[in-house]
Every structure is written in C-alpha cells, then in structure tokens.
Amino acid sequence: MAVYLLRRGGEGVIVLALVSVLVFALIGLMPGDPIDLLISADPDITSEDAARLRALYGLDRPLYERYLAWLGDALRGDLGFSRLYSQRVTAILWAPLQNTVILMSLSLVLGLLVAIPLALVAARRPHGPVDVTVNLLAFAGFSVPAFWLALLLILLFAVTLGWLPAGGVHAVGDPSLESRLRHLVLPVLTLTVLNAGVYLRFTRGALLEVLNEDFMRTARAKGLGLGQALLRHALPNAMLPLTTVVALHVGTLLSGALVVEVVFAYRGMGKLTYDAILANDFNLAMAALLLATGLTLTCNILADAVYSWLDPRVRYDD
Amino acid sequence: MTTEPLARPAARPPVKPSAILIGSGGVLLALTLLCFTAPWIAWLLGVDGTRVDIFNRLAPPGADHWLGTDELGRDYLIRVLEGGRVSLAVGLIGAVAAALIGTAIGLIGAYAGGRVDALAMRLTDLVIALPILPLLLIVAAIDPARLGLPTGGLADVGRIVVIVALFGWPTVARVARSAALSVRRRTYVLAAEALGARAHHVLWRHVLPNVAGPILVAATLGIGNVVLVESVLSFLGLGVQPPTPSWGNLLSDAQTLLVQAPLLAIVPGLMIFVTVIAFNALGDGLQAHLDRRRAVR
C-alpha cells in the first residue's frame, strides 16, 4: 500500500510538472507581456527602453530558459510577484484556498446528504412515480448551467426578497462569522444543486444494480424489510463506487466552483485564477492553476487509498 | 407427441422508440429549426435582431417585441434565436470533433493493447480528473494571432470548437475502448485477422460498426456538456465574442442589467437548460433503446 501510494505520488509530481510546462507555454501565447503593458501605461517609453527592460527581466530569452528559471525559483519556494495585487504570490494564495475549500467541502457534504436519502427512496420502487420524479430532479441538477442558477438565486433572494447578500465573502468591514455564513448560503446552494444531481444519478444507478444481487434476496428472504435491506446491505455496497465518483468529481467541482465564485464575487481560488488570467498576471495564474491541479491529484490518490481501506478485496500491492 | 416442424425464427419485432426519445428529439428538432430560421422569423415578425434603436431600449415584452428588447433596443427574441444558432452549432460540431478524437484514441488503445493502451488510458483518466475549466481558460485566453491564426468572426467560433473538443474527448474514448475490447476477440474479428486483413481495415470495417451504438450515446451526452462549456466560456468573456451572440455571452451582458431587465438573463439560461436536458435525455433514451434492442435480439 505504502509503495503504491508512493508510486502514485511520484506520478502526480510528473503530471504536475507536465501541466506546468504546458501552462507556461500557453501563458507565453497570451496577449501582452509585462513590458507591453508597461508601454501602454506609459507612452513616453521608447523602444530602446522596452528592449532594455525586456533584457533586464529576461523576457528576450527563449521560452525553455525562462521556464527553467521559473522552475528553479518555484522549487525554492519563490513563486514570483503578482502584478494584480502587488504582493508576493505566496502571500496571496492562502486565504482564497481556504475560502474555496470551505465552499467545496460544504457543497460536497450537503450534496451527498441530499442525494443519498433521495436515491434510497427512489430505489424502493424502481421506475415507480417517486423514482421517475427523483430521476428528473437529478437530470435537472446536472443539466442546469451553474452561472444561470446563480443569477436566478441572486434575483430571487438578493434582489426581490432582499434576504441574502448578492456576493462577496463577507460584508465590508464585518468579517464576523455570521456575515461570512450569510454570504456562503447562495454559492453553497448553487454548487449543492449541481453536486446533488451528479451524486443522485450515480447513487440511484448503483443501488438499482445492487438490488438484483443474491445477498439482497437473502436479506429479504430472512424477513428484513425493504427499507432496512436497502439501508444495511444495498447502501454500503453502493457507497464503494460512490467514493470514487465523488473523488474523481473534485476536478469538476473545482470547475463549477470557479463559475460560482466569479458570479458571486466570492474570493476563492477560482475567482483568483480567473482574475489573474484576465489581468495577464502570469505568476499568479501559474501558481493558482498548479495549486488547483495539485489539489485534484491529491484527492484522486486519497480516493484510491480510501477505496482499498473500505473494501479489503481491493489491494494495490501487485 | 409430435415433433413440431423447425420454424424459421420469427422476424424480430421492431422496438418502438420510447416517449423520452421522441420527446427530447422533438424538442431539439424544434429548437434547431427555430434558431436556424431566425432571419425568416425576424422578417415575419417585422423586427430586427441587429438594428440598434436607442429610443426603444429595454422595452418590456409586447406585441411588437415578444420578448422585449435588449440594452441597445434590439429585438430579444431574435437575439436569443441567433445566439442559439451559434451555441447549437458549436455544441454539435464540438461534440462530433470530440467523438472523432475519442473514438480514434479508444479504438487504437483497445486494438493495440499493451503500452499504447496503458498510455492512452492514463491520458484519458488524467484529462477527466484534472480541473479542466481553469486550464481551458488559459487556452481560451491565448492570442491566436501569436500562433499565426486568423481572428474574429468565424475563426473565433472555430477556436471555441477546438477548445471544447479538447475537453470532451475522454468520455468517448473510454466508452469506445471498453466497447472495442468486448468485440476484440469475437470470431468475426479473429477471422478477418486470420485472413490477413490490416489493422486499419479490421478497425474500420469490423470493429467500428459494432461499437457505433455506445459511441453514439456517449457523443449525444457529450453535446449537452459541450453546450454547457461553450456557454460558460462565453459567459466568462473568453468564448464567442460579441457582437456575435451566443447564449453564454447574452447572459453575460444580462448580468449587469439583472435588476432592470431580469428577463434578459432568464431566457438565454432557460434555453441552455432546456437544450442540455434534452440532449442528456436523448442520450439516455438512445442508451435504453439500444439496450432493449439487444435484449430482443
């Protein structure tokens, strides 16, 4: 197991390195290098000045040399300077990361809390009226565009009813827990709907599959009620594949979080990435993207570990 | 006891398409027709989706403008239908492109096996697991001029198709691979190989026709996803650029007018929602249809 995790970790590092090369190359293709922006900000700069500045910052060197320089600094813990926030990148990342983790974990847990009971109710009578309704709900949940749902919720709860704030992490000058929670409601609600749709569809499918197993018939034959049989025998077996789906879904969840964070002006990793890309803040975009990738890869590896812990039949020491 | 004469097996009864299949297909057909006949609808209604009319900004829905007008006084119904033309076209073309890439990778992996297969599947799993939207934003933000590519208008739409195809292929690849693995050792494939058929011939003539069903299902489900991704990118300002309307960038414009004109935000989102649900239902219905046909066989 330890060997397996070590190998997966090693692979993760390789993937991270590949992604960093890819992103670095793509960033080089984004419009406007820092000097272009400097020129547009100050028309007095001559082309000689621009060339001199480019040489000073090494922007005239080939891409791979610049990448290696960036990598060397990054490995020493220096991710460079953010132009957007005029701060070291390492000093910016922490708060948004926390905000995103809060948003994601809340909506993940709530999504499961909505999906599992609904799936259990639906599985009592497959293709019955309840099941069809639940299935429709699941369809709606994963088909709804996140940003539209977010706008509708803002329209209802912030504009029309005025119950909840339309955006932000907390009210200006009021970082109290209450204010934070009030600002979390709508973003968490949006993401929960999306998650619940995916989890519901999957849990229902997994339950229906387990229903035909021999051990289910045995459980019913020994006199266990349908509800108890579903809860005690079907659900634990359906939970196994669900862990994998939930973990593999973390990448998608991060994507969804990005959209929701942008609409609600919620300062998390997604909004940070988006702002950095729009503002051509290369160092920050690079760091934020790698952090998101690293987070996803870690969750995937953890999922494998949890899977083998939950199901002793699965062993990784091949 | 008399022995019955050996009867010819009865012709297999045709499997009727389900209500879901017909319903979702009908909705999509109607939507597509409406969107692609937008110029004629505009002519019939005597309105214009492009003419700016600043004296008639943000008009409420009425007899003249069924969905009112936008912030520049353009008829919103026509704007939405024209936006749908772009969104649906990107969805269809993008999903087909993704299906082609995915099928190629899946089939080659399944047929070649060994290291090629392992590498292909690693790549597939990786693209599925990665936080794909943040990475796509970078791809969407690059300046095509720096790669010597044309910009603006149609080239812009083409760029989005490439981006969504990059995102959509892995699910198809997985389906294509597992379907191909299941027919890989069938006698007809082995027979073709024994007769000395080349790999591409076997794949094209014997494997592909027998795995087309699941691939079609995966591709249909993919269209919904592609429509969603295009709308997200356009909503974030990195997809289809105004003045070319798409459902995503219409919503993006409407966001700032949410209080004055909520309808501008509600309608394009509803169109995306209906389209994505319909494609997902169509894919699901197709899957059930193919399953039942196989059960009858």
Please write down the HEC assignment for all residues of A155-188: HHHHHHCCCCCCCCCCECCECCHHHHHHHHHHHH
B131 — contact with chain A (CB < 8 Å)? yes
CATH of residue B85's domain is 1.10.3720.10
> Is B119 touching A (CB cutoff 8 A)?
no
**B277 near A CB under 8 A:** yes
Q: Is B258 on the interface with A (CB under 8 A)?
A: yes
Amino acid at A111: G
Among A143, A152, A296, the residue with its CB nearest the CB of B131 is A296
Nearest to B131 among A31, A159, A293 (CB): A293
Distance of CA B130 to the CA centre of its chain: 21
Q: Give the residue extent of every domain in chain A.
A: 2-89, 94-310
Flag whether pLDDT at B222 surpasses 50.
yes
Pairing status of strand A81-82 against strand A87-88: antiparallel
Selected for mutation to probe chain A from B27, B119, B128, B137 (highest A CB count within 10 Å) is B137
Amino acid of residue A60 = D
B231 touches chain A (CB under 8 A): yes
Question: Cβ(A288)–Cβ(A272) under 8 Å?
Answer: yes
Q: Taking CB atoms and an 8 Å cut-off, how many pairs form between chains A and B?
A: 127
Any A CB within 8 A of B272 CB: yes
**Structural domain contains residue B146:** yes
pTM: 0.84
- pLDDT tens string for chain A (318 positions)? 778 888 888 888 888 888 888 888 888 777 666 677 677 777 777 777 777 777 777 777 777 888 888 888 888 888 787 878 878 888 888 888 989 999 999 999 999 999 999 998 888 888 888 888 898 889 889 889 988 999 999 888 888 887 878 777 777 777 777 788 888 889 999 999 999 998 998 898 888 888 888 888 888 888 888 888 888 888 888 887 788 788 778 878 888 888 999 999 888 898 999 998 888 888 888 898 888 888 888 888 887 777 777 777 766 654
User: B224-260, pLDDT tens digit by residue?
Assistant: 888 998 898 888 888 888 778 888 888 888 788 777 7
Whether chain A has a CB inside 8 Å of the CB on B7: the answer is: no
Domain span holding position B269: 33-48+67-296
d(CA A226, CA A211): 10
**pLDDT band with cut points at 50, 70 and 90 for residue B101:** very high
Chain A: nearest CA to B186, how far in angstroms?
27
Instruction: Supply the DSSP symbol for B75.
Output: B
B255 close contact with A: CB closer than 8 A: yes
Q: Is residue B41 part of a domain?
A: yes
Is B24 part of any domain? no
Mind listing the pLDDT tens digit for each residue in B111-136?
888 888 888 888 888 887 778 888 88
CB B141 within 8 A of CB A277: yes
B133 closest CB neighbour out of A258, A263, A293:
A258
pLDDT (0 to 100) of residue B274 = 92
What does residue A143 show for φ and ψ, rounded to 5 degrees? Answer: -100, -15
At B247, give phi and psi (nearest 5°).
Answer: -55, -35
For B185-209, what is the mean pLDDT? 84
Give yes or no for a contact between B180 and B107, defined as CB atoms under 8 angstroms apart: yes
- Tell if the CB–CB gap between A23 and B138 is shorter than 8 Å: yes
CATH fold of the domain at A94-310: MetI-like fold (1.10.3720)
Instruction: Give one DSSP letter per residue of B153-209, joined into a string.
Output: HHHHHHHHHHHHHHHHHHHHHHHHHHHHHHHHTSHHHHHHHHTT--HHHHIIIIIHH
Judging contacts by C-beta atoms under 8 Å, the chain B residues touching residue A208 are none
Nearest to B228 among A139, A145, A289 (CB): A145
Query: Is residue B73 very low, low, confident or very high in pLDDT (cuts 50, 70, 90)?
Result: low
Residues in chain A: 318
| Strand (E) or helix (H) holding B62 | none
Of B129, B262, B266, the CB nearest to A296: B129
B153 has pLDDT over 50: yes
B274 in a structural domain: yes
Is the CB of B129 less than 8 angstroms away from the CB of A254? no
The top-scoring range by mean pLDDT among A173-177, A298-302, B50-54, B84-88 is B84-88
User: What is the number of structural domains in chain B?
Assistant: 1
Question: Is residue A255 within 8 Å of residue B132, measured between CB atoms?
Answer: yes
Look at residue B264 and tell me if it is in a domain: yes
Among B27, B121, B126, the strongest candidate for a mutation testing the A interface, having the largest count of A CBs within 10 A, is B126
